[in-house]
Amino acid sequence: SYVLTQPPSVSVAPGKTARITCGGNNIGSKSVHWYQQKPGQAPVLVIYYDSDRPSGIPERFSGSNSGNTATLTISRVEAGDEADYYCQVWDSSSDHAVFGGGTQLTVL
């Protein structure tokens, strides 16, 4: 089955740029979606189809996908961005959704 690999944690100072990676075999050929989950809350879609942003999500959130790595970039990080972030794709061979293990973003 398809595996997505995320770093367990990323730390960034307020106002700086956070980059969260999601690795997978030839992930650039797949569509990647990103979710934000704050403690005790349901996940929220923040980036879909690699780089599209749902209405209501700040422009500070952006995404890219190429080769074996997809990246969620959060510019001008704020304290309120502190959360777990998950990448997700569809595995065409099994026709199942696959999530990465999640990355905890800490704002220093």
Q: Which of 87, 91, 89 is nearest to 103 (CA)?
A: 87
Sequence length of the chain is 108
Comparing CB distances to other proteins, the nearer of 8 and 80 is 8
Determine whether 46 is exposed, middle or buried from the number of CB atoms within 10 Å of its CB (0-12, 13-18, 19+): buried
According to DSSP, the residues that pair with 91 across neighbouring strands are 96
Comparing CB distances to other proteins, the nearer of 1 and 80 is 1
How far, in Å, CA of 78 to CA of 87, rounded?
20
Candidate list 3, 76, 96, 108; residue touching other proteins; CB under 8 A? 96
- Map the footprint of other proteins across residues 15-74, applying CB under 8 A: 31, 33, 35, 37, 42-45, 48-49, 54
Comparing CB distances to other proteins, the nearer of 17 and 94 is 94
Footprint of other proteins on this chain (CB under 8 A)? 31, 33, 35, 37, 42-45, 48-49, 54, 86, 88, 90, 95-102
